[in-house]
Structure 1
Amino acid sequence: MNAAPRHALLAGATGLTGQKLLALLLADETVAQVLAPTRHALPAHPKLSNPVGMVSHLIAQLHGQVDTVFCCLGTTIRQAGSREAFRMVDYDLPVSLGRHARALGANHYLVISALGADPASRLFYNRTKGELELALQKQEWPRLTIVRPSLLLGARHKPRMGEMLAAPFSRILPGRWRGIEAGTVANAMWRLARAPGNGLRIVESDELQQLGE
Structure 2
Amino acid sequence: MTIHSVAQPQDKNKVALIVGASGLVGQHLLMQLLESSNYSKVIALVRNPLTIEHNKLEQRIVDFEHLTAEFTRLELANEEKQNTTTNNDGLAKIDHIFCTLGSTINKAGSKSAFCKIDYLYPLIIAKHFYRQNTALFAIVTAMAANESSSIFYNQVKGKVETGLSDIGFEHLGLFRPSMLSGQRDEFRLGEQLGSVLMNALAFMIPKKYHVIQAKKVANAMLAYAEHPPSGITIIPSDQLQNY
The normalised TM-score by structure 1 is 0.94
Q: 2: distance between equivalents of 1:16 and 1:2? A: 31
Q: In the alignment, what sits opposite 2:19?
A: 11
User: Structure 1 pair 2/177, CA: closer, same or farther in 2 (3 Å)?
Assistant: farther
Candidates 168, 179, 182, aligned match of 2:196: 168
Q: In the alignment, what sits opposite 2:84?
A: none
**Aligned positions of 1:138-157 closer than 5 A:** 138-157=166-185
Q: Residue 37 of structure 1 contacts residue 55 of structure 1 at CA under 8 Å; is this kept in 2?
A: no
Q: In the alignment, what sits opposite 2:59?
A: 50
By how many angstroms is 1:4 displaced? 5.3
| Structure 1 runs not aligned, ≥5 long | none
Q: 2: distance between equivalents of 1:180 and 1:40? A: 28
Candidates 120, 124, 129, aligned match of 1:92: 120
**Aligned positions of 1:102-141 closer than 5 A:** 102-141=130-169
By how many angstroms is 1:57 displaced? 3.3
Q: Is 1:184 equivalent to 2:192 in the alignment? A: no
| Structure 2 runs not aligned, ≥5 long | 1-7, 75-90
Moved more, 37-46 or 87-96: 37-46
The normalised TM-score by structure 2 is 0.83
Per-residue CA distance 1:86-141 (angstroms, 9 max, x = gap): 00000000111101121222101100010111111111111111111100011011
Q: Residue 146 of structure 1 contacts residue 202 of structure 1 at CA under 8 Å; is this kept in 2?
A: yes
Q: 1: distance between equivalents of 2:169 and 2:15? A: 17
Q: How many residues align structurally?
A: 211
By how many angstroms is 1:28 displaced? 1.4
- Please give the secondary structure, in 2, of the residue aligned with 1:32: strand
Q: 1: distance between equivalents of 2:99 and 2:9? A: 20
Q: Residue 29 of structure 2 contacts residue 222 of structure 2 at CA under 8 Å; is this kept in 1?
A: yes
Q: Residue 43 of structure 2 contacts residue 57 of structure 2 at CA under 8 Å; is this kept in 1?
A: yes
Q: Which amino acid aligns with 2:240?
A: L
What is the root-mean-square deviation of aligned Cα atoms in Å?
1.6
Q: 1: distance between equivalents of 2:138 and 2:218? A: 11
Q: Which amino acid aligns with 2:92?
A: G
Q: Is 1:41 equivalent to 2:49 in the alignment? A: yes
- Please give the secondary structure, in 2, of the residue aligned with 1:50: strand
By how many angstroms is 1:53 displaced? 3.6
Q: Which amino acid aligns with 1:97?
A: I
Q: Residue 2 of structure 1 contacts residue 195 of structure 1 at CA under 8 Å; is this kept in 2?
A: no
